[in-house]
Each structure stands twice: as C-alpha cells, then as structure tokens.
C-alpha cells in the first residue's frame, strides 16, 4: 500500500503579465488536503484550476503564497519525485514501446534495467495492460494510451498524483470505465490525488472531496465532502445521494459561470 | 503480410520489435520495386523518343537515346570506354560531395540545435544564415578555389555551404516540434536539459533531420560540381561538363551523358541517406 502525503496551499495567487495589463489567474487560494484524500477540482474553463495544479507540480511558480507537498516546497518535491503528473494527453514517446515508455521515469532516475523492467511490468499489470509491453503507442486506443501514462506515473511510487483532466479526451463510456479502474487502482495505492476535471459526475464518482472554483480570477467558492463510501461501483451513480451531490455542484458551477458573465460586462 | 508494393509498406506488425529487418528481408516487394524502376526508365526513354520524332526536334537539341548509348560505348585515345571515364569522374566528384555533405550536415545539425535551443543565437544567427543562402555560389566559387586550392577540400567547402542550410533548418524545426507537454513531463522527473535533449528532442527531430539530409544530399553534388567549374580542376564531372559545353554543337551526346552521370551520383547518395534513415527510424514513418 503506497502512502500519501499532505498537500497545502496558503494564500496562493498567480498573476500572468499580459499586454492588456496583468491577468490574475488564481486569487488567494488556501487549501489543505490530508494525506490519502482524493480531491477533484472543478470550475469553468480558464478558471485557473490547471494553473493551480501546475503550481503544485512546480511547473509554474506562484506570484505570492506558499505551496507545500509532504512538508517540503513544490520545487523540492519535484526534485525528490514526491509527485507524478498525468497530463490530458498521454504524452507517450511515439518511438518507444509501451514497456519503455512506462519505465522512462525510472530510466531518468538511473534505476538498473532489470528493476526498471520488473516495476514497469508490475504497473502495467495494475492498469490491465499485461501482454501489451512490446506495442508502440500508436497501436493502442486512446484509453489504453492514457492507462500507459497512469502506469508510468505510478512507477516512481509517488505519494502524490496530480492529474490534469486525464480522461478529458475520452468518450463517455471509456471515461466511465477508466473512472472505475482508477478507483480499483486506489485500493492498492493510497496516494493523495488532485484531479482536475470538467465533468461533475466524474468528480463526484471519484472523489472524497470536490472543490469548485469560480471563473477568473480563480477562487475556491465551494468545498464539499462526498460521503458515498469507499466501495463505489456503477450502481453508485443511481443512488439519490449521487444525484444530490451533482445537483449541488451544478448549482455552484452555474453561479461560477454567472460571475464570468458579470466580469465580462465590466469595462477592463 | 503487406500487399502494397515498394518501400511504402514498412508497416510494423503488432508486437514485432524487429520490423525493419523483416521489411528489408522480404524479397517480393523489392523485386516489384526493381520492376517499377524499369518501367519508369523505359517510359521516360519512350517519351523522349516520341517527342523527338513527332516534333522533329534537331538532334543537336535532343539527341536520340541510341546515340547517347553509342557515346557511352566509344573509346578515347587510350582505349578507355567513355562510360568508364564518366565513372572515374563520378568518383572524384562524389568524394567531394560526400565530404561536403558530412561537413555541412554536421555543422547544420549542431547549428540547428543551437537555433532551436538558444533565443540569442536564433535572433542573431538565423537572419545571417538565411541571407547567406542568396549568395550565388557560382559567383564566389573561384574565390573558394583560390583560397582552398584545386581539390576535394574546395568541393567539400562549396558542397557544405549548400548542404548546411537544409540540415540546420530541419533540425531546428524538428526540435521545436516536440510537444510542450512532453518537455514538461521530463521536467516533472527533474531530468536535466541534456537528458531531455538526448532522450526526447533529438529522437523527435530525427525524421525531419533525415528529410533535411536527403535534400542536402542532392545539393552536395551540385556544390561539388560548381567547385570544379573554375580554373585548374583536371578531374570531376564539372570539368567534363565544361569540355562538353565546348563541343556541344558538334557532339551534344557528351553533355547529356554527363548530366545522366550527375543524376546517377545524386541518386546513389540519396539512396544511402534513405537506407540510413530506414535503419535509424525503423517503421517510425508510420506514426509520424
């Protein structure tokens, strides 16, 4: 069982300098995620949720505020491989086999080949891709490619998983299937997960907690615990509590979108 | 098995890691390729003859294919066949072309890397390189020969000058074509920029670099010939072209045969580049 790590953001803001004046993308976000929690962040397009995630990954640095992953700064956490990042695109190297793609992080780390191969095989088995080791990425479907990228993320056994709309490009049936698999996976992996998504039902189905962000500048406008239990199968979607959660988040999101309109009307 | 003809059918079979060996080893597509080549040559010869006969073109402008063949088979004072004379000169020019191609491609790839990676170099060097492309190489060839002497070095320098640009531009473009997310992925592994270059950027750029090399290969022959045109050269296809110019009104066959020899030389060098590309890339053309 992999152990998670706590994530903390305090007073985090991000300003992007642009021609028409500075653009405030993330505004004063305070967030503490306990070790092992699965948190989804949902919000209107361009609300800064990806920017927030990228700051956790040290791919962007906050303009103000501090970020801690497992008690150390985001930059230190990146250097210590405390997290793995899963992008919306599978971002596999097209000329490398599934096995080699999966083992890539270990290769960069300088892990010996035999161990690389065995760990990569183990992770591929976890995502149900045993027997596909020698395939090349273009020979796999989009869903399978994304599973490879999740297996790759798990090879370094990170305490934290940062996922930026990983299933956003998949069709709905495949997405539901991937959601189910991700939950199954979490029975053996207790990482802390931050999961960015546009899909309300995906967020509710997967998460212990859903955070709703407002339109730009991105602020946290709702922070909801999802108490659907840890055993979640397709039938959870049919339960009244599930619909209740969806309805509530939908309401918050409508507010968030309305605030977009108002801010659009304001003179710049 | 792939049912397609020729060299387009290097499809990778599922789970097969040794695909390129398999493709090169399959005999029947290769035989079909030869057949296709023969058909194209016969077709071109036929077209040439038909145009010549129907339009009644002066044989000084369009000599018959048969007369070209006869010219190739004539012997000079020493009793050597003209075709062997051409082959000897092809070797001389080819040496300069290949040396220039290697030099130009090496400098081009290195420069392309720098252009892609360093903003300062892109901004300061790239305009210069582009402008340098407009220098009429025929005009400055005498200066090059004066400076580097008559021989392989001059040919290599002019050939390198022509091959540098395609290699540099395709390398730079190839490296810039790496998806930003892939670079970021490597950064999340805390990979050094050197590791990113070797593991991601260069392999991504490789197919495009080979496109540049193929273009360069053809240019390198032109470059080597141009370096043979000024004073002093005794051997090489450029020298044969010069003397054929002088006798064109008497015997145009000599010039046409030399041009064909030049094409053959370019074709041979391009084929080697293609072979190298196939060995280096395997079946990668399929998924790029």
pLDDT at B158: 93
From chain A, pick out residues whose CB is under 8 angstroms from the CB of B200: 93
Backbone angles phi, psi at A60, to 5 degrees: -130, 155
Does one domain contain both A19 and A115? no
Does one domain contain both A63 and A167? yes
Mean pLDDT, residues B225-247 taken together: 87
pLDDT at B4: 40
User: Which of A59, A136, A156 lies at the smallest CB-CB distance from B187?
Assistant: A59
Mean pLDDT, residues A158-162 taken together: 90
Q: Residue A69 falls within a domain, yes or no?
A: yes
CATH superfamily, with its number, for domain B97-288: MetI-like (1.10.3720.10)
Q: Between chains, do A135 and B14 touch, taking CB under 8 Å as contact?
A: yes
User: Which of A78, A83, A87 lies at the smallest CB-CB distance from B181?
Assistant: A87
pLDDT at A190: 81
Across A41-50, A159-168, B5-14, least confident range: B5-14
Residue B266 has pLDDT above 90, yes or no: yes
pLDDT band of residue B11 (cuts 50, 70, 90) is very low
Interface of A with B (CB under 8 A): 57, 59, 78-79, 81, 83-85, 87, 89, 91, 93-95, 97, 104-105, 107-109, 134-139, 156
Task: Please give, rounded to a whole number of angstroms, the shortest distance from the CA of A129 to a CA of chain B.
Answer: 13
**pLDDT, tens digit, 9 for 90 and up, residues B178-232:** 999 999 999 999 898 889 998 899 999 999 999 999 999 999 999 999 999 887 7
Average pLDDT, chain A: 86
Q: Residue A137 falls within a domain, yes or no?
A: yes
Q: Residue A185 falls within a domain, yes or no?
A: no
From chain B, pick out residues whose CB is under 8 angstroms from the CB of A105: 189
Q: Mapping DSSP to helix (H, G, I), strand (E, B) and coil, where does residue B75 land?
A: strand
Q: Residue A39 falls within a domain, yes or no?
A: yes
Does one domain contain both A74 and A167? yes
Mean pLDDT, residues B101-120 taken together: 92
Distance CA A52, CA B233 (A): 68
Does one domain contain both A98 and A69? no
Question: Total structural domains in chain A?
Answer: 2
Average pLDDT, chain B: 84
pLDDT band of residue B12 (cuts 50, 70, 90) is very low
Backbone angles phi, psi at A57, to 5 degrees: -90, 0
Residue contacts between A and B (CB atoms, under 8 Å): 60
**pLDDT, tens digit, 9 for 90 and up, residues B136-163:** 888 888 888 889 988 889 999 999 999 9
Residue B236 has pLDDT above 60, yes or no: yes
Does one domain contain both A242 and A255? yes
pLDDT at A231: 76
E-strand ranges in B156-218 read: none
Task: Note whether B279 contacts A: Cβ–Cβ < 8 A.
Answer: no
Which residue of A91, A133, A140 is the best one to mutate when testing the B interface, meaning the one whose CB has the most B CBs within 10 A?
A91
Does one domain contain both A68 and A138? no
Q: Residue A16 falls within a domain, yes or no?
A: yes
Report the share of chain B in percent with pLDDT over 90.
Answer: 45
pLDDT at B226: 92
Does one domain contain both A103 and A212? no
Residue A148 has pLDDT above 70, yes or no: yes
pLDDT at A43: 86
Q: B81-84 long-range contacts, Cβ below 8 Å, gap at least 24?
A: B82/B254, B82/B257, B83/B257
Residue A29 has pLDDT above 50, yes or no: yes
pLDDT band of residue B25 (cuts 50, 70, 90) is very low
pLDDT band of residue A16 (cuts 50, 70, 90) is confident
pLDDT at A265: 47
Closest residue of chain A to B203, computed from CA coordinates: A95
- For residue A209, the enclosing domain spans 1-82+162-173+191-268
From chain B, pick out residues whose CB is under 8 angstroms from the CB of A156: 189
Q: Residue A181 falls within a domain, yes or no?
A: no
Closest residue of chain A to B285, computed from CA coordinates: A95
**pLDDT, tens digit, 9 for 90 and up, residues A216-246:** 788 888 888 888 777 787 788 888 888 888 8
Does one domain contain both A72 and A142? no
Q: Are A36 and A4 in contact (CB under 8 A)?
A: yes
Distance CA B160, CA B274 (A): 19
Among B268, B260, B261, B240, smallest CA distance to B87 is for B261
Does one domain contain both A119 and A74? no
pLDDT at B27: 53
Q: Between chains, do B189 and A108 touch, taking CB under 8 Å as contact?
A: yes
Residue B23 has pLDDT above 50, yes or no: no
Spatial strand order in the sheet of A7-16: A23-33, A7-16, A64-69, A72-73
Residue A198 has pLDDT above 60, yes or no: yes
Q: Residue A184 falls within a domain, yes or no?
A: no
Q: Are A202 and A245 in contact (CB under 8 A)?
A: no
pLDDT band of residue B283 (cuts 50, 70, 90) is low
pTM for this one? Answer: 0.77
Does one domain contain both A120 and A77? no
Q: Residue A182 falls within a domain, yes or no?
A: no
pLDDT at B209: 93
Domain boundaries, chain B: 97-288
């Amino acid at each position: 069982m992999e152990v998670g790590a706590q994530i903390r953001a305090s007073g985090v803001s991000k300003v992007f300098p642009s021609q028409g004046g500075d653009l405030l993308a993330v505004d004063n976000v305070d967030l503490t995620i306990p070790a092992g929690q699965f948190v989804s962040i949902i919000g209107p397009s361009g609300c800064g949720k990806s920017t927030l995630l990228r700051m956790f990954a040290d791919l962007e640095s906050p303009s103000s505020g501090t970020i801690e992953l497992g008690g150390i700064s985001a930059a230190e956490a990146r250097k210590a491989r405390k997290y793995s990042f899963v992008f919306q695109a599978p971002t596999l190297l097209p000329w490398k086999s599934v096995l080699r793609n999966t083992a890539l992080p270990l290769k960069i780390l300088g892990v010996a080949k035999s161990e690389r191969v065995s760990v990569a095989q183990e992770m591929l088995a976890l995502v149900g891709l045993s027997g596909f080791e020698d395939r090349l990425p273009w020979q796999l479907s989009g869903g399978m490619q994304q599973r490879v990228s999740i297996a790759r993320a798990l090879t370094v056994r990170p305490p934290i998983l940062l996922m930026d709309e990983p299933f956003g490009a998949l069709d709905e049936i495949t997405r539901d299937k991937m959601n189910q698999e991700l939950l199954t996976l979490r029975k053996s992996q207790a990482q802390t997960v931050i999961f960015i998504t546009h899909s309300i039902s995906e967020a509710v189905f997967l998460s212990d907690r859903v955070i709703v962000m407002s339109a730009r500048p991105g602020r946290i406008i709702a922070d909801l615990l999802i108490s659907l239990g840890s055993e979640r199968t397709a039938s959870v979607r049919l339960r009244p509590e599930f619909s209740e959660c969806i309805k509530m988040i939908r309401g918050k999101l409508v507010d968030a979108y309305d605030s977009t309109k108002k801010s659009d009307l304001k003179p710049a | 098995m792939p049912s397609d003809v020729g060299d387009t059918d290097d499809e990778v079979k599922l789970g097969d890691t040794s695909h390129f060996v398999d493709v090169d080893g399959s005999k029947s597509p290769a035989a079909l390729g030869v057949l296709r080549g023969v058909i194209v040559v016969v077709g071109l010869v036929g077209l040439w003859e038909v145009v010549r006969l129907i339009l009644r073109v002066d044989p000084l402008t369009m000599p018959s294919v048969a007369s070209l063949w006869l010219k190739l088979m004539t012997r000079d004072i020493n009793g050597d066949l003209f075709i062997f004379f051409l082959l000897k000169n092809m070797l001389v020019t080819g040496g300069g072309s290949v040396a220039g191609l290697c030099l130009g491609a090496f400098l081009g790839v290195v420069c392309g890397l720098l252009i892609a990676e360093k903003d300062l170099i892109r901004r300061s060097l790239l305009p210069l390189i582009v402008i340098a492309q407009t220098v009429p190489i025929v005009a400055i060839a005498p200066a090059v020969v004066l400076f580097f002497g008559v021989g392989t070095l001059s040919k290599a320098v002019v050939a390198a000058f022509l091959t540098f640009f395609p290699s540099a531009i395709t390398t730079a473009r190839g490296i810039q074509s790496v998806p930003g997310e892939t670079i970021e992925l490597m950064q999340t592994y805390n990979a050094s920029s050197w590791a990113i270059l070797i593991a991601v950027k260069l392999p991504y750029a490789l197919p495009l670099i080979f496109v540049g090399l193929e273009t360069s290969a053809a240019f390198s022959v032109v470059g080597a010939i141009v370096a043979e045109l000024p004073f002093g050269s005794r051997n090489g296809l450029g020298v044969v072209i010069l003397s054929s110019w002088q006798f064109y009104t008497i015997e145009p066959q000599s010039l046409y045969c030399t041009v064909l020899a030049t094409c053959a030389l370019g074709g041979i060098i391009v084929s080697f580049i293609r072979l190298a590309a196939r060995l280096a890339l395997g079946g990668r053309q399929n998924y790029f």
